[in-house]
Each structure stands twice: as structure tokens, then as C-alpha cells.
Amino acid sequence: MSKTVIIDPVTRIEGHAKISVYLDDAGEVENARFHVVEFRGFEKFCEGRPMFEMAGITARICGICPVSHLLASAKTGDKILAVQVPPAGEKLRRMMNLAQLTQSHALSFFHLSSPDFLLGWDSDPAKRNVFGLMAADPDLARAGIRLRQFGQTVIELLGARKIHAAWAVPGGVRSPLSDEGRNWIIERLPEARQTTELAISIFKRLLDSELKTEIDVFGKFPSLFMGLVSPDGTWEHYGGHLRFIDSNGEIVADGLSEDNYQDFLGEAVENWSYLKFPYYKPLGYPDGIYRVGPLARLNVCDCIGTEDADRELIEFRHRAGGRVATSSFFYHYARLVEILACIEAIEELVDDPDVVSKRVRSEAGINCLEGVGVSEAPRGTLFHHYQVDENGLIKKVNLIIATGQNNLAMNKTVTQIAQHYIHGNEIPEGMLNRVEAGIRAYDPCLSCSTHAVGQMPLHIQLIQKDGTVIQEKYRH
């Protein structure tokens, strides 16, 4: 008799979701679905607001990655004002985004995911969290916390607040970096680099010993990958153009502009999730599945452009078995390589005299009635699309977030993991944790909330096709 396993909520992600695993009569997995069960409506309630307020408003979408929306919104405002941002303004925006990538990746790796790697998939759920990591390896846990603090403090030094800083604005930024802030960053960079290099070495050692199965079954499948690259193909996180590649490393589309995203991106909906399902239009839905985020960014770029990160990229690709890493488990590895790239880029920027220049903003009025901005958030490519009236009041908003663009891939991943690990009616908690961990590999950001600290409750049910609950477990 067929059954359904419900994992609700999925733990150690930013937001609220559940996973349904559907079993056939023999107890084998037929399918699995990742449901986003919260509805927020940001696109709708922005209507009627002045365009100049949008950066500050949309930053409130998320408490983990407010900088991502702040910058994407400000870049959309640049288009509507039809201005060129001063060099100092662009470099300061870049520095804040590098700090944002650093702090968010550190949160994902050390707080949300490393308890699985370091404490064990089958360890006690009550201790399989950041507090358990503190007890098992206090030095590593402290280093991870300080690495995230580094990124957060750089954001604060630039924008005066760690979270929801209304600093980037259409035309540039509000203020430069102070000399005191610059000196603090210089002093803390060596420690941040040391922690990152330690984390990379630990994770590579685990890949060689304990995590070989996970590489093969945690979302390893062919798909497209999309991300920003610079004109010469170098890794990008702020400017450049969009590129699609396939799983063989062949370029599918290059030189794409965010202004024309509707020509190559479609958005499908399903009745079992509030999260939309973007896809690559030329291949249709769902064949146009693609992935974004750190894994995609390392796959689409020709090089990173900094010495140590480029060396790690070569090894990353060697371990992946080729030009493109198709296992979603390598998202964790890619985050660490990107942190190293960010630290190296901050080291270069902090010596640039423009970061303390006073010429940080271009002034203008409404010159265009529509604009599209794009930036690389920690979880992937983020689009903001605004239409305004002659007074700059918002008429329509469309946001395409990174987590949504990974939606098809996340569903494919949980199905693959469930089919590998779940067999029969008795399902150990560690097996269900592995299914959840497939989602954590993407580090989905579903709302402003986060489950980084503590142990979230979990309610699991085995349900027959007629709705009868035959097995039920609670995690408190």
C-alpha cells in the first residue's frame, strides 16, 4: 500500500518549508517534493511606493541577505535614472557584496551544514547543530563565528548597520568607507583568510574519506548552469553579463543582458508550492532546468581572477571530474572557494583610494519608466524588475530570486536522495536528515527568518493513500 512521508518543517534553512516523500506499495520512493509553504507578497505591496524607497524596502525581504536585494534594487534604480554610478560608488557596492557573500557562506557552512559533516548524519538531532559543534570543536566553531562577524562588520562599516542598511541608493551609495573602517578591515583580513583556508582543508579531507557517497547521490544530475561573468569570462558577482553552460561545459548562451531576461527565462507555477519554478525558455518547462549560486558561478566562469582562489578552482574542477561540477553536494565546497575569492578581492579593494573618495553618487530624476537590475546574491543570480510612472511611483514589480531558480533542481535532488536511502516503512531519523540535507546544500533563503540556532521541531508522518496515518514521529 502506497504511503507518504512528510518532513515538516525542514530544519536549518532560512524560512519555512516541508518535504513530502511518496512511497509505493513495496516501500520504494516514487517521488519527492519540496514545498514552500509561506506566502509573503512583496511584489504586490511595493506597488504605489516611490522608486527611491525600493532599495530600503526590498532589503527587508531577508535578514540573512538584505545586501543582495539592496544592491539589485539600487542597480534597477540606476537604470530608471539613466545614470552612470561614479567609480567609487561601484567599488564600494562591490566591497559590500563581497562582505555579504562572505558572511552568508560562513553562516551556511559553519552554522547550518557543518554539524552534519563533523558530528555525523546519524548523530543526536538535539546536538546536531551549532551548539553541538561548539561542544565538539570549540576552536573551529569560534573561528566560523568570527569569519561571519568579519563579513557582517564590513557591511556595518560601509552602511552603518549590519542588517537592512539603507546605504546603496539609485545613483551610487550614501557614504564612503572611513579611514578607521579601512584600518579595521586590513587588520582582520589575515584571520579571515586563515579560517577560510582551514575550512577548505577540513572539507577536502572529508571529501576524500567520509563524504564520497554524498557526492554521488546528493543532487548529481545534468542541468544547465547560469551566472554572471565579466566580459573576458572571469568570475563576477556584481557586473558583467549572463552566461548559460551545460553539464559538459559547453556554452549554451553568452553575452545575455538582464534587460532581456524575459526572452530566455520563464516562470512556471505548481499548485503544491508558493515558490515559482523558473526555467530556461528555449528548452521549455521542465526540461529547461538550471542551477544558480556558488556552484553555478564556479562552473560558468573561465577563471576567478585571484591567485589563491584560482588555484583552488583548478583543484575543485579536478575533484569534480571535469570542467563542470554536476553534484549539488559541491555547493558546500564552492562556497568556501568563493569566500577565499571574496577575501582576496577585498584585499585589493581596500588599497584602492576610491573607497574613501567622497564622489560616491550621481544625482538625477526619473528618466526611464522601466528598469531591470541584476546582482549575484550568495544563493545565486537575483533580478529586480520595476515599472514606474512619470512621478517615479512603482506600478509593477517582478523579483526572480535565486532560491526560486534552484527550485526544479532542489526537487530533483530530494527525490534522488530519498530513492537512494529510503527503503521500506521503517525510516531512521538519519535517513530523513539526509533528505533535508539535500535542500541545505542549496542553502535556500525562503524568508526573513533563519533556523541557524537551536533544534527545530520536526513532525513526520507515514500516510496511506486513503489518508490513514500508520506511523508518526515528533522531534522536539
Cβ-contact 13, 440 below 8 angstroms: yes
User: Domain 3-459 classified CATH 1.10.645.10?
Assistant: yes
Domain-wise residue ranges, the chain? 3-459
pLDDT of residue 65: 78
* pLDDT tens column, 333-391: 999 999 999 999 999 999 999 999 999 999 999 999 999 999 999 999 999 999 999 99
Question: Can you say which residues are annotated as belonging to the binding site for Fe cation?
Answer: 65, 448
Distance (Å, whole) CA 130 – CA 138 = 10
Give strand pairing partners of 291: 225
The residues, any chain, with a CB within 8 Å of residue 194's CB and separated by 6 or more, are none
pLDDT of 171 higher than 80: yes
pLDDT of residue 83: 97
Confidence of residue 460 (pLDDT cuts 50, 70, 90): very low
Look at residues 242, 203, 230, 197 and name the one whose alpha carbon lies nearest to residue 113. 203
Look at residues 350, 358, 380, 369 and name the one whose alpha carbon lies nearest to residue 442. 380
Distance (Å, whole) CA 387 – CA 304 = 34
* pLDDT tens column, 196-208: 999 999 999 999 9
Distance (Å, whole) CA 188 – CA 419 = 45
Sign of the CA dihedral with 40 first, then 102, 233, and 298 last? negative
Cβ-contact 326, 247 below 8 angstroms: yes
**Cell representation of residue 246:** 551545460
Question: Can you say which residues are annotated as belonging to the binding site?
Answer: 43, 62, 65, 399, 445, 448, 451
Q: How many CA atoms lie within 13 A of 193 on its CB side?
A: 14
pLDDT of residue 445: 75
* pLDDT tens column, 174-190: 999 999 999 999 999 99
State the helix-helix crossing angle for 407-421 and 429-440, rounded to 10 degrees: 160
Distance (Å, whole) CA 32 – CA 246 = 25
Instruction: For the beta carbon of residue 180, count every other beta carbon within 10 angstroms.
Output: 8
Q: Identify the H or E element spanning 45.
A: helix 42-45
Q: Out of 24-33, 202-211, 437-446, 460-469, pick the least confident.
A: 460-469
* Residues composing the chain: 476
**Helices assigned H by DSSP within 321-475:** 330-349, 402-405, 407-421, 429-440
Tell me the DSSP string of 225-249: EEEEE-TTSBB-SSSSEEEEE-TTS
Percentage, residues of the chain above pLDDT 70: 89
For the chain, give the mean pLDDT.
88
For residues 150-175, average pLDDT = 93
The residues, any chain, with a CB within 8 Å of residue 243's CB and separated by 6 or more, are 226, 227, 228, 229, 233, 251, 253, 254, 255, 256, 300
For residues 64-93, average pLDDT = 95
For residues 275-302, average pLDDT = 96
* pLDDT tens column, 400-420: 989 889 999 999 998 999 899
State the helix-helix crossing angle for 307-320 and 179-209, rounded to 10 degrees: 20
pLDDT of 452 higher than 50: no
Confidence of residue 451 (pLDDT cuts 50, 70, 90): very low
Write down the pTM of the prediction: 0.90
Confidence of residue 234 (pLDDT cuts 50, 70, 90): very high
For residues 22-34, average pLDDT = 81
Question: Can you say which residues are annotated as belonging to the binding site for Ni(2+)?
Answer: 65, 445
The residues, any chain, with a CB within 8 Å of residue 10's CB and separated by 6 or more, are 17, 18, 19, 34, 436, 439
**Helices assigned H by DSSP within 46-120:** 54-58, 66-81, 87-106, 114-119
Question: Can you say which residues are annotated as belonging to the binding site for Mg(2+)?
Answer: 43, 62, 399, 451
Confidence of residue 449 (pLDDT cuts 50, 70, 90): very low
pLDDT of 320 higher than 90: yes
By the 10 Å C-beta count (0-12 exposed, 13-18 middle, 19+ buried), 381 is classed as buried
Query: Averaging pLDDT over each range in 123-132, 262-271, 310-319, which range is the top one?
Result: 310-319
Q: How many CA atoms lie within 13 A of 464 on its CB side?
A: 5
* pLDDT tens column, 79-91: 999 999 999 999 9
**Cell representation of residue 63:** 535578514
Query: Which amino acid, residue 148?
Result: R
pLDDT of 14 higher than 60: no
Confidence of residue 4 (pLDDT cuts 50, 70, 90): confident
Question: 181 to each of 160, 175, 355, 456, how far by Cα in Å?
Answer: 11, 12, 11, 37
